[in-house]
Amino acid sequence: MTQPRTEVTVIGLGAMSRALARALLDAGHPVIVWNRTVSRADELVARGATLAPTAAGAIAATELAIVCLLDDGAVHEVLAPANLDGKLVVNLTNGTPAQAEKTATWALGHGAAYLHGGIMAVPPMIGGPGAFILFSGARPAFDRAERTLAVLGRPVYAGEEAGLASLQDLALCSAMYGMFAGAWHAFALVGSAGVDVEAFDDDLLIPWLKAMIALLPEQAANYEGAAYASEDSNAAMQVTGIENMIAASRDQGLPDETLGHLHTTLHSLRSVA
Ligand SMILES: NC(=O)c1ccc[n+]([C@@H]2O[C@H](COP(=O)([O-])OP(=O)(O)OC[C@H]3O[C@@H](n4cnc5c(N)ncnc54)[C@H](OP(=O)(O)O)[C@@H]3O)[C@@H](O)[C@H]2O)c1
């Protein structure tokens, strides 16, 4: 006999929370939704979700509440009137580790179990094979919800301290934005000389980035609190290269701020024999 699916409350219906609610509905979970802008619930109600008139009402309706709002301030504003006693609150709102710790302490003080999450996906990836979600907080709370949370993406337990998921989420996003910022600057640089940006991306940039990703395991293995340069690619040579990138950007009339942090990082390189 198939087990009935856990009822889940979803607080917030932005692009991400709507994707979360859709994935839960598709997996057969009864879903209660609430959003400040009520019209954002229309599509989900048409799919079978129940719209609660208040956030407190939505939280009262189920044992498990997933909260995914713009920021920490919105989370506290929305949750303040709710009775959290006996609930499991899973907060997937992006924030700092300190905010996660503070919200965890607050939720536990109101009788809830609490997990903080970091969603490593964009909305169309939710429920698909490429999505994973980091969770931190008490292990029993994670174990209790893991099967339901797996509907959204592969759940990865990051540890007991509530801030650990946010810390790793922000670290991953920092690496991602570093890559995107570099790519956007590369597009501007070649585009300024009339090079076909799409062909450059397909034929050169993507294969180049894939080849460079293969260097990461060695870099991680040698990482001791500072970036490092190998014998094959020494620090002075790399600093000269970045200075050429900055000079070429200026010559092409492009801003070079995105390269400034590289210059600082490369100046602090330690060489590893
Ligand atoms: N979208 C992504 O690619 C992505 C990827 C990973 C993680 N995330 C994270 O997921 C979270 C939600 O992102 P999103 O893309 O869904 O953002 P979004 O589309 O801008 O939605 C923001 C949500 O927060 C609500 N909200 C904002 N301020 C509020 C307030 N003061 N009181 C009550 N509700 C408030 C909005 O309600 P209204 O509808 O009433 O405005 C809406 O439900 C963020 O923390 C984001 O970092 C997003």
Q: How far apart are the first and last CA of the chain?
A: 63
pLDDT, tens only, 42-63: 999 999 999 999 999 999 999 9
pLDDT classification of 272: cutoffs 50, 70, 90: low
d(CA 133, CA 257): 32
Strands, E, within the chain: which ranges?
8-11, 31-34, 50-51, 64-67, 88-91, 113-120, 132-137, 154-159, 228-229, 270-271
Question: Which of 65-74, 95-104, 239-248 shows the lowest mean pLDDT across its residues?
Answer: 239-248
Residue nearest to atom 48 of ligand 1 (CA): 16
Question: Which of 109-113, 135-139, 262-266 shows the lowest mean pLDDT across its residues?
Answer: 262-266
Separation of CA 246 and ligand 1 centre (Å): 36
d(CA 41, CA 255): 42
Question: Taking CA 82 as the corner, what is the angle to CA 79 and CA 84, rounded to the nearest 5 degrees?
Answer: 95
Question: Counting Cβ atoms within 10 Å, is residue 170 exposed (0-12), middle (13-18) or buried (19+)?
Answer: middle
Q: Is 45 helix (H, G, I), strand (E, B) or coil?
A: helix
pTM: predicted TM-score of the whole model, two decimal places: 0.92
Select from 121, 120, 108 the least CA-distant residue to 161.
108
Q: Which of 10, 20, 22, 69 has most ligand 1 atoms within 8 Å of its beta carbon, as the pocket-test mutant?
A: 69
Residue nearest to atom 6 of ligand 1 (CA): 119
Select from 165, 151, 265 the least CA-distant residue to 219.
265
Residue type, position 158, single letter: A
pLDDT, tens only, 135-192: 999 999 999 999 999 999 999 999 999 999 999 999 999 999 999 999 999 999 999 9
